[in-house]
Structure 1
Amino acid sequence: MSQPTLVTRPPQCVNFRLTFPASYVLLVTFEREKAMNSLTFAMHWALAAVWDWFDREPNLRVAVVTGQGIKSFCAGQDLLELRGRGTDDDPRRYIYPKGGFAGISRRSGKKPIVAAVNGYALGGGFEMALNCDMVVASPTASFGLPEAIRGLYAAAGGLPRLMHIVGPFIATEIALTGRRLSAQEALAYKLANRISKTNESCVDEAIELAQKCAEVSPDAALVSRVALREAWETGSVERGVELVEDRYRKQLHEGENMREGLRAFAEKRKPNWAASKL
């Protein structure tokens, strides 16, 4: 598909590529295949700018993130960069943006991101996937947190999220022993939505999932995601309900997309959604 008509200009890319494989869908591909798609600190900040732009761009609704090739999604932080750090280096160079690893691992954001885990998701790569909205894993995908083995710890938000999903026993084993999970184990532990048919089809299947999300009302998608994430972050079911009621109910009901959705239902046609103004 050719590039859509964008209202705003995308930020500069640093060792990653932006493409538009389907209507309203952004695909972000890490392009450090020889380095197992590990990320540098410059990449973290550049990616954080991309996600901020993605949330603002009205002609994009869903993103997919993946790694170049079929061997590695993202093997985490570029440890050679850390190893080469000098004592007189500016410490600000070695910190994550507010959104965390790749601007994703601690991101809240407005719009959903689907992870196409097409190989190793290790360290920050795993932490990134843990905070994406959906995950499609290739049959040979592998998930793990090897930080403790290297004298580090998973500092990008993945530990509490892993605990929420799999519980204390499995989370502790993964964090303290470096245990890696196969795609089948990740699916069993609810760390992935599905396993792709083949390694090569992982990204395409993630894009298909993103397309389904892009077909719903942009307003309804935003509000539903906020309610889901609020309950996830706070553990409060009622807070998730209250937030939507207090912040979005009036705007949603008065918005043109709700009227269009009901009108399309009555007329038995596909809705023509407008860009979200929420």
Structure 2
Amino acid sequence: MSSTLLTQPPPTTVYQLSFPAPHVLLVTINREKARNAINMAGHVEGDAIFSWFDQEPSLRAAVVTGAGKKAFCAGADLIEQNTRASGGQTRQQQRQQPTVMPASGFAGLSRRQGKKPIVVAANGFALGGGFEICLNSDIVVAAPEARFGLPEVNVGLYAGAGGLSRIARSAGLQVASEVALTARHLTPQEAKEWGLINRIAKSQDSVVAEAVEMASLIASKSPDGIVISRAGVRQAFETASMERASQITEQQYGRSLRDGENFKIGLKAFAEKRAPQWVPSKL
């Protein structure tokens, strides 16, 4: 699959990139010894990777998971933060390392708007920023062993990468308050009951494959239709008025969709009773 890429991905020290199915990118957080906690460099690298993903014509959906079986992502690299806060870094190290999270948030995902869908394969603990990634992703498939939580209050912090707003909007005031104020872990069953994840995988070993299957299903649909449908759902999530959200989506995308190639391809394939052969989205 990588041979069909029209552009090359940015360099990374934190993530492993692979292509498990046509038009699907798999991003693995590759810091297993640190329970896949993300250091400051990882936020910048993630932002670059997912910006590239949105622009790469051959890719239509992405899956994000963590290395190993213990954790999807245990949150921020608190060891790095402590070293920085205690003055344990040289001035050169401080200059070389980023100090500000990108606008797209934790790992370039927790506040990402983006264009193409992200499916999370939560293979283990998704805590702090790891849970904030899930809360802003389009679809979450969780292993039975996964656990979700916002433990920031245990270490004098708060979930500042967008998670508080999103869990309150998705699950309601009382659920969000319990999760944020008690720092307790949620089981996949609880997270699913409260609308925070989509499905529970058959096993930990199958969670990535099931997420890739979901991403492949998405990637088989009209690239234009997927981009606009995702934008419309997110517009409704962000906008107080449902009707206004519908108006904004139509104003931004309606004409481009109807003037685009995939609109014509889809209608012609339907009329001829055959599978459409989509082209890359130009939206």
Normalised to the residue count of structure 1, the TM-score between the two structures is 0.97
Q: Give, in whole Å, the separation in 1 of the partners of 2:100 and 2:244.
A: 32
For residues 105-120 of structure 1, what are the structure 2 equivalents within 5 Å?
105-120=110-125
Q: Percent identity?
A: 52
Q: Structure 1 residue 179: deviation in Å? A: 1.2
Q: Which amino acid aligns with 1:164?
A: R
For residues 1-278 of structure 1, what are the structure 2 equivalents within 5 Å?
2-85=1-84, 86-87=86-87, 89=94, 93-278=98-283
Q: Which amino acid aligns with 1:65?
A: V
Q: Please tell me whether the aligned partners of residues 230 and 236 of structure 1 are also in contact (alpha carbons under 8 angstroms).
A: no
Q: Please tell me whether the aligned partners of residues 149 and 178 of structure 1 are also in contact (alpha carbons under 8 angstroms).
A: yes
Q: Give, in whole Å, the separation in 2 of the partners of 1:21 and 1:236.
A: 39
Corresponding residue pairs, total: 277
Q: Structure 1 residue 90: deviation in Å? A: 5.3
Q: Which amino acid aligns with 2:36?
A: N
Give structure 1 stretches of 5+ with no counterpart. none
Q: Which amino acid aligns with 1:44?
A: H
SS at match of 1:121: strand
Q: Give, in whole Å, the separation in 1 of the partners of 2:125 and 2:5.
A: 33
Q: Structure 1 residue 92: deviation in Å? A: 7.7
Structure 1: 4+ residue segments shifted above 2 A: 86-94
Deviations 1:213-234 (A, max 9, x none): 0011000111111111011112
Q: Give, in whole Å, the separation in 1 of the partners of 2:80 and 2:172.
A: 33
Normalised to the residue count of structure 2, the TM-score between the two structures is 0.95
Q: C-alpha root-mean-square deviation of aligned residues, in Å?
A: 1.3
Q: Give, in whole Å, the separation in 1 of the partners of 2:12 and 2:81.
A: 21
Q: Structure 1 residue 91: deviation in Å? A: 11
Q: Please tell me whether the aligned partners of residues 230 and 239 of structure 1 are also in contact (alpha carbons under 8 angstroms).
A: no
Q: Which amino acid aligns with 2:176?
A: A
Q: Structure 1 residue 4: deviation in Å? A: 4.2
Q: Please tell me whether the aligned partners of residues 40 and 97 of structure 2 are also in contact (alpha carbons under 8 angstroms).
A: no
Q: Please tell me whether the aligned partners of residues 4 and 59 of structure 1 are also in contact (alpha carbons under 8 angstroms).
A: no
Q: Structure 1 residue 243: deviation in Å? A: 1.6
SS at match of 1:73: strand
Q: Which amino acid aligns with 1:67?
A: G
Q: Please tell me whether the aligned partners of residues 25 and 59 of structure 2 are also in contact (alpha carbons under 8 angstroms).
A: yes
Q: Give, in whole Å, the separation in 2 of the partners of 1:146 and 1:245.
A: 40
Q: Please tell me whether the aligned partners of residues 143 and 202 of structure 2 are also in contact (alpha carbons under 8 angstroms).
A: yes
Q: Give, in whole Å, the separation in 2 of the partners of 1:244 and 1:274.
A: 22
SS at match of 1:248: helix
Q: Please tell me whether the aligned partners of residues 4 and 23 of structure 1 are also in contact (alpha carbons under 8 angstroms).
A: no
Q: Structure 1 residue 61: deviation in Å? A: 0.3
SS at match of 2:2: coil
Give structure 2 stretches of 5+ with no counterpart. none
